Structure 1
Amino acid sequence: MTVYLSPAPLTQESFAPYGDVIEISGAADKLINQGLCGRHHDLAKLDFGSGRAGISIFDAQARQFPYTLDMMERHPDGSQAFVPLSGVPMLVSVADDEDGKPSTPRVFLSEPHQTINIHRNVWHGVLAPVKEAGQYIVIDRIGDTPNLEEFLFSTPYIVNP
């Protein structure tokens, strides 16, 4: 049986169980650089366990609706942040853990300016820019031990706007 999902707007409140939405809301914490730059300080909980922070660039192909969500992954040893470079919205799929596998996913649609940080060990879908290819800076754990678990759904979910 096919299960259909619709993406919800990505907000700090709705995404909090899974990670951080990194965006400006309100005045800067302080002004720096001779008062010409507002610093919005410490907006995400970055967690790299026994590894170190790495910065990579991901070049992701465009996804279209209806979108088939057939796989999720998680990183047990570190968080993973996605910073959009090209201003392309992305589908963000996350799920609670249910006995070592993802439960029914929740799907969000980001705004072009929103950055996300997925907390350590949270099930999530792959990077999925909508309608156009997108480039993203990814800040995640670099280490000597494996940091990836994948799960394939026996029945994929179909995401429609």
Structure 2
Amino acid sequence: MTDALHLKIEPLTHEAFAPFGDVIEASDAVKHFPINAGNTERYHDLANLDAGEDGRVIVSIFRGLPRALPFIVPMMERHPKGSQAFVPLSGRPYLVVVARPGEPPTAGHLRCFLATAAQGVNYAKGVWHHPLMALDEVSDFLVIDRSGPGNNCDEIELAPVAIIPAL
């Protein structure tokens, strides 16, 4: 695969991920305040969930098999009718590969982020992303996305492909 593009793995930050959606985490970088007589800290309004005009928000659990690195990124998908949020439940880091919404991306448009076990992501409507990328072990994710009429998943194959190096 001499023409494959090797992706750089970046740390997941609010600023770096902003063109693609939201980082979901309890940190000083987000609005937070005490509730319940000071017994609970509320990290407030962390993601712009979007079910679209004719959809409704649903909650699911996805159980992802681990991906071995290096990993060839052969395809990308997007959800044109609504956002899709992933919150890790298994206490393990995972990878996020994204490209901006719009025309189908090439390997040169992709960005790869390493999310910590304490960070979720919300892909904005139409953002290209690779399906769930658990690392090391089978991992569960709470997923908040759209249910409703119409096709809400477009897939494309990448040519050339991208490669995610070993950590």
Alignment partner of 2:155 out of 150, 156, 159: 150
CA gap of 1:110–1:34, structure 2 versus 1, over 3 A, is: same
SS in 2 for 1:14: helix
1:24 corresponds to 2:29: no
Of residues 33, 38, 43, the one that matches 2:41 is 38
The alpha-carbon deviation at position 117 of structure 1 amounts to: 0.4
Deviation at 1:41, TM superposition (A): 0.8
Gaps of 5+ in 2: none
* Count of matched residue positions in the alignment of Structure 1 and Structure 2: 160
Distance 2:27 2:155 in 1: 34
2:121 is aligned with what amino acid? I
Residues 1:159 and 2:164 aligned together: yes
Q: Which one of 52, 57, 69 corresponds to residue 56 of structure 2? A: 52
Instruction: Summarize the alignment of residues 80-99 of structure 1 with structure 2, pairs less than 5 Å apart.
Output: 80-97=84-101
Please state how far the C-alpha of 1:28 moved relative to its aligned partner.
Answer: 6.2
Identity %: 45
Partner of 1:109: 114
Q: Partner of 1:7 in structure 2?
A: 9
Displacement after TM superposition at 1:10 (Å): 0.4
The structural deviation recorded for 1:131 is 1.6
For 1:60 and 1:74, locate their aligned partners in 2 and report how far apart those are by CA, in whole Å.
18
TM-score by length of 1: 0.94
Query: Which residue does the alignment assign to 2:146?
Result: 141
**Are residues 1:125 and 2:130 paired?**
yes
Structure 1 gap ranges (5+): none
Alpha-carbon contact 1:28-1:38 (below 8 Å) kept? no
Structure 1 residue 30 displacement after superposition = 2.5
What TM-score comes out, normalization by structure 2 length?
0.91
Given that residues 55 and 137 in structure 1 are in contact (C-alpha distance below 8 angstroms), is that contact kept between their aligned partners in structure 2? Answer: yes
What stretches of structure 1 move > 4 A for 4+ residues in a row?
none
